């Protein structure tokens, strides 16, 4: 036994970074004991030797904190009442100790986020208030925004702001401000993930194979994008009726004179009025004009276009959309803008123009599959107008299905919906019996009108 421990000690000595100034034989022995227990998932047995090292040699090895979190997670999961509260509080203390003793392994924003989630998930046991939970996340936001990016943490941060409003402890404007803060942060993180994912998609499209490391990164970025999309919808739901036109219009009317030259306030007000469909009120036009006069940009031209469309000045509106697209210089934002413009034109039935913008969006953000689905939907909607006879018209659905499947190939978050959509379109296409009767299996059908494409009839 002594010989085995000696060999393990030598191996650990060579493989881990030890603070030699605090080197201690007892700490080394206990480090190896609790490390072996953790690796075997014997967390209860690991607890005592781990605590000895933690208390005597807090800077001895990072495993004290990395493995310590696993040990305390086990204790929290398998305890209740006062015992559970004690373990939760100890994990929060451990996170602080890890940040202090191994600052190269921890980020302040992540630590504060993790502490906030511990408080939120164990609110009853700890007896903490919404204010205390909010304040912890607020520290993460204010003290280390860069590393405060956990999807759940961002949601809880905003959610507790709404709860505080309902308790009468936070004004409505502050809730809106926090919604914008969290939404902006989500947007930033989505942009970062998308840009990295674009590089991997472009590599694949160039015929190159991703390395195993790149495959892991692709999965990582895809998962984060899925989570950000989910919490984006969740914070909208949480905001709910607070951001209806009945609340927004009087609030912005009251503050307009104060903030009519504040570009950030105007942008947020216009965006919320637009997203909540409060655009029929004259205040919306007033806000857009002030925003465009204060800080003309791609955003302002886009919103001016929305007003012109409402006034049935479609040609002028389309010109403003073009200005918006031309003014945007950020590649990611330009891609998102092109998608939004495509959406407006699609609703107006201007399919050819919409497709052009959707394709621009795909060039700029190739890992975003939504434009493919929207293009496919326009193809399907045009089936009756783009064929010489019934067979050719229904053949357009094959073309739509091909486009829909592209969404799943470039965007893993859309694989399921892309396949379901494509299958739905194929269900409207000619049957095998139709193909047999027509006698054109394997032939290419030209699709006219604005689509201007072709599709091969499946073989029987």
Q: Where are the alpha helices (DSSP H) in 348-428?
A: 351-364, 370-381, 390-410, 415-428
CA atoms within 13 A on the CB side of 180: 18
Provide φ and ψ at 198, rounded to 5°. Answer: -55, -40
Along the 460 residues of the chain, how does pLDDT read in single tens digits?
Answer: 333 333 333 334 444 444 444 458 899 999 999 999 999 999 999 999 999 999 999 999 999 999 999 999 999 999 999 999 999 999 999 999 999 999 999 999 999 999 999 999 999 999 999 999 999 999 999 999 999 999 999 999 999 999 999 999 999 999 999 999 999 999 999 999 999 999 999 998 889 999 999 999 999 999 999 999 999 989 988 988 888 999 999 999 999 999 999 999 999 999 999 988 999 999 999 999 999 999 999 999 999 999 999 999 999 999 999 999 999 999 999 999 999 999 999 999 999 999 999 999 999 999 999 999 999 999 999 999 998 899 999 999 999 999 999 999 999 999 999 999 999 999 999 999 999 998 999 999 999 999 999 999 998 7
Cα–Cα distance measured from residue 319 to residue 324, given in angstroms and rounded to the nearest whole number: 9
Map tokens 């193909």 to a residue: 435
> What pLDDT does 460 receive?
79
Question: Strand pairing partners for 446?
Answer: 454
E strands of 24-176, at which residues?
none
Q: Residue 224 has which token pair?
A: 């984060």
Q: Are 272 and 239 in contact (CB under 8 A)?
A: no
Q: Does residue 457 contact residue 440 with C-beta atoms inside 8 Å?
A: yes
3 state SS of 278: coil
Q: Please report the sign of the dihedral spanned by the C-alpha atoms of residue 381, residue 386, residue 390, residue 395.
A: negative
H or E element in which residue 62 lies: none
- Letter string b/e over residues 243-264, b meaning 16 or more CB atoms within 10 A of that residue's CB: bebeebbebbeeebeebbebbe
Instruction: Please give the Cα distance from 420 to 88 (Å, whole number).
Output: 44
pLDDT at 387: 83
- Closest C-alpha to 113, from 74, 157, 170: 157
Do residues 286 and 256 lie in contact, with contact meaning Cβ atoms separated by under 8 Å? yes
Phi-psi region of 144 (alpha: psi -120 to 50; beta: other; left: phi over 0): beta
Q: How far apart are CA 86 and CA 191, in angstroms?
A: 39
d(CA 173, CA 277): 19
Structure token digits, residue 153: 């943490």
- How far apart are alpha carbons 426 and 419 in whole angstroms? 10
**pTM higher than 0.85 for the full model?**
no
Per the DSSP assignment, residues forming a β-bridge with 453 are: 447
User: First-to-last CA distance in the chain?
Assistant: 72
Write down the pLDDT at residue 23: 55
Q: What pLDDT was estimated at residue 22?
A: 44
Residue 160: predicted pLDDT? 97
**How many whole angstroms separate alpha carbon 450 and alpha carbon 444?**
18
Q: What is the per-residue pLDDT for 241?
A: 81
Which pLDDT belongs to residue 13?
44
* Torsion of the alpha carbons at 185, 188, 190 and 195, rounded to the nearest 10: -170
For 391-415, letters b (16+ CB in 10 Å) and e give bbbbbbbbbbbbbbbbbbebbbbbb
Contacts 24+ apart (CB under 8 A), 284-292: 286/256, 287/252, 287/256, 290/256, 290/260, 290/261, 290/266, 291/263, 291/266, 291/267
Place of tokens 């009025």: 273
């Amino acid at each position: 036994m002594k010989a085995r421990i000696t060999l393990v000690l030598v191996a650990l000595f060579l493989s881990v970074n030890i603070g030699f100034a605090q080197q201690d034989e007892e700490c080394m022995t206990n480090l190896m004991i609790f490390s072996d227990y953790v690796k075997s998932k014997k967390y209860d047995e690991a607890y005592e030797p781990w605590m000895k090292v933690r208390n005597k040699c807090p800077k001895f090895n990072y495993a004290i904190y990395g493995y310590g979190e696993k040990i305390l997670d086990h204790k929290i999961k398998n305890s209740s009442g006062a015992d559970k509260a004690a373990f939760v509080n100890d994990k929060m203390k451990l996170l602080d100790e890890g940040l202090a003793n191994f600052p190269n392994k921890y980020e302040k924003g992540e630590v504060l986020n993790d502490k906030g989630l511990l408080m939120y998930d164990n609110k009853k046991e700890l007896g903490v208030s919404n204010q205390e939970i909010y304040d912890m996340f607020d520290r993460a936001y204010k003290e280390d925004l860069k590393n405060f990016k956990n999807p759940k943490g961002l949601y809880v941060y905003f959610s507790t702001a709404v709860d505080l409003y309902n308790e009468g402890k936070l004004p409505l404007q502050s809730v809106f401000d926090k919604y914008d803060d969290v939404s902006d942060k989500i947007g930033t993180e989505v942009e970062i993930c998308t840009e990295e994912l674009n590089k991997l998609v472009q590599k694949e499209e160039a015929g190159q194979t991703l390395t195993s490391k790149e495959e892991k990164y692709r999965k990582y970025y895809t998962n984060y994008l899925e989570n950000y999309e989910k919490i984006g919808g969740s914070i909208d739901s949480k905001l709910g009726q607070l951001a209806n036109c009945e609340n927004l219009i009087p609030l912005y009317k009251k503050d307009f004179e104060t903030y009519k030259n504040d570009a950030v306030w105007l942008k947020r007000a216009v965006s919320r009025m637009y997203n909540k469909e409060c655009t029929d009120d004259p205040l919306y036009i007033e806000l857009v004009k002030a925003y465009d006069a204060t800080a003309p940009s791609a955003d302002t031209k886009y919103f001016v276009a929305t007003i012109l469309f409402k006034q049935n000045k479609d040609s002028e509106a389309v010109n403003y959309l073009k200005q918006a697209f031309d003014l945007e210089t950020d590649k990611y934002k330009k891609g998102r803008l092109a998608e939004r413009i495509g959406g407006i034109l699609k609703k107006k039935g201007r399919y050819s123009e919409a497709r052009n913008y959707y394709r621009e969006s795909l060039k700029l953000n190739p890992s975003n599959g939504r434009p493919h689905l929207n293009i496919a939907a326009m193809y399907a909607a045009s089936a009756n107008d783009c064929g010489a006879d019934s067979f050719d018209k229904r053949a357009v659905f094959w073309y739509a299905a091909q486009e829909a499947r592209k969404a799943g190939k470039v965007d893993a978050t859309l694989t399921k919906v892309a396949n379901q959509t494509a299958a739905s379109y194929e269900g409207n296409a000619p049957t095998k019996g139709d193909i047999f009767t027509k006698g054109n299996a394997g032939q290419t059908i030209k699709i006219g009108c604005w689509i201007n494409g072709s599709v091969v009839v499946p073989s029987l």
